[in-house]
């Protein structure tokens, strides 16, 4: 295991397998070398992944089971080339991540954290808080129309938002407008919610040009991967007022995020906690364990990636 899981998952895994806890080892290379001939599976997390270098040290490796939907930190090319199966935990976290996307949008637009601080500080006794931004009926662009993007769209529709989206293709079964150019989507949106998968293909796809098109009344929400947004450009846009604000659950160098974010009043920050509910984390861990059990039981994997 590259990193810990919740206690309920650890207890089950340790009851069924011999678990080598890489994160606890003072000398990680020595631990891997000592057990390389016996390790048949890696249980990892989305942000930790499994590199080609690690997998290459495990000649008996058969499967990498990922606690999380994103597999961009797993070298899938190496896994496929070497017959190593890879699984993840899609679907079970979709609704919670969509919830936090809408929650962040409301928090930024309605300035909910600032309002809380305003009341706590006693400022309400002196004057009414300045007016904020409505979410109802606004133009909302979704960057990536996969499972989470569709779940966000369903929620935004309940706010009577005018929804458009950018992605790899048009979905004929959806009632929303498809925009094939991300800059054009940003230009036509007041809110932009990023739900794309990570990886080289989407790295820094939200860049200076996209943020400039979103404009000084625009709000950016990122619930995808920190790699999808050019953070240098985002920080410059937030500091200069080139966009109105941002709600961020993910960051480029998390958890050691750029300290400038903490100094900004027009950004709401989350610790990559979109799937961080008891219900979803239990379902994610169960799916990891079910995939491992299926593999070692000679059955079809539940959620294969490779």
pLDDT in tens, 228-242: 999 999 999 999 999
Rounded Cα distance, 31 and 29, in Å: 5
Instruction: Identify the band that residue 219 occupies on the pLDDT scale cut at 50, 70 and 90.
Output: very high
Coil/strand/helix, residue 292? helix
Instruction: Identify the band that residue 41 occupies on the pLDDT scale cut at 50, 70 and 90.
Output: very high
Taking residues 205-218, what's their average pLDDT?
Answer: 98
- pLDDT on residue 292: 98
- pLDDT on residue 8: 97
Instruction: Identify the band that residue 289 occupies on the pLDDT scale cut at 50, 70 and 90.
Output: very high
Cβ pair 198, 74 in contact under 8 A: no
The pTM of the full predicted model, rounded to 2 decimals, is 0.93
Q: How far is CA 260 from CA 231, 235, 280, in A?
A: 11, 8, 31
The pLDDT mean for the chain works out to 97
Coil/strand/helix, residue 206? strand
pLDDT in tens, 96-136: 999 999 999 999 999 999 999 999 999 999 999 999 999 99
- pLDDT on residue 282: 97
- pLDDT on residue 205: 98
- pLDDT on residue 126: 97
Catalytic positions: 225, 254, 272
- pLDDT on residue 116: 98
Question: First CA to last CA across the chain, in angstroms?
Answer: 19
- pLDDT on residue 78: 98
Give the CA angle between residues 182, 273, 294 to the nearest 5°. Answer: 95
Instruction: Identify the band that residue 288 occupies on the pLDDT scale cut at 50, 70 and 90.
Output: very high
Q: How far is CA 280 from CA 65, 67, 91, 251, 274, in A?
A: 17, 11, 10, 21, 10
Instruction: Identify the band that residue 42 occupies on the pLDDT scale cut at 50, 70 and 90.
Output: very high
């Amino acid at each position: 295991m590259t990193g810990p899981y919740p206690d309920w998952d650890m207890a089950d895994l340790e009851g069924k397998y011999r678990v080598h806890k890489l994160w606890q080892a003072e000398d990680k290379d020595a631990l891997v070398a000592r057990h390389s001939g016996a390790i048949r599976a890696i249980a990892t997390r989305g942000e930790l992944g499994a590199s080609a270098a690690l997998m290459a040290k495990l000649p008996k490796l058969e499967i990498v089971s990922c606690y999380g939907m994103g597999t961009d930190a797993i070298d899938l090319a190496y896994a496929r080339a070497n017959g190593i199966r890879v699984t993840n935990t899609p679907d079970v976290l979709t609704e919670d991540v969509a919830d936090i996307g809408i929650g962040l949008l409301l928090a930024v637009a309605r300035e909910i954290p600032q309002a809380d601080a305003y009341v706590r500080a006693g400022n309400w006794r002196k004057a009414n808080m300045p007016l904020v931004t409505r979410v109802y009926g606004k133009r909302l662009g979704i960057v990536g129309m996969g499972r989470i993007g569709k779940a966000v769209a369903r929620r935004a529709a309940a706010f009577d938002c005018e929804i458009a989206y950018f992605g790899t293709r048009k979905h004929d079964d959806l009632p929303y407008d498809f925009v094939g150019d991300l800059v054009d989507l940003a230009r036509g949106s007041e809110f932009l919610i990023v739900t794309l998968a990570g990886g080289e293909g989407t790295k820094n796809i939200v860049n200076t040009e996209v943020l400039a098109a979103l404009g000084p009344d625009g709000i950016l929400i990122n619930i995808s991967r920190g790699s999808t947004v050019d953070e240098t450009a985002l920080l410059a846009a937030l500091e200069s007022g080139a966009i109105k604000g941002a709600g961020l659950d993910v960051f480029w160098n998390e958890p050691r995020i750029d300290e400038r974010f903490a100094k900004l009043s027009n950004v709401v920050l989350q610790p990559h906690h979109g799937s961080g509910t008891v219900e979803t984390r239990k379902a994610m861990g169960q799916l990891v364990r079910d995939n491992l059990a299926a593999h070692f039981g000679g059955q079809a994997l539940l959620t294969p990636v490779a």
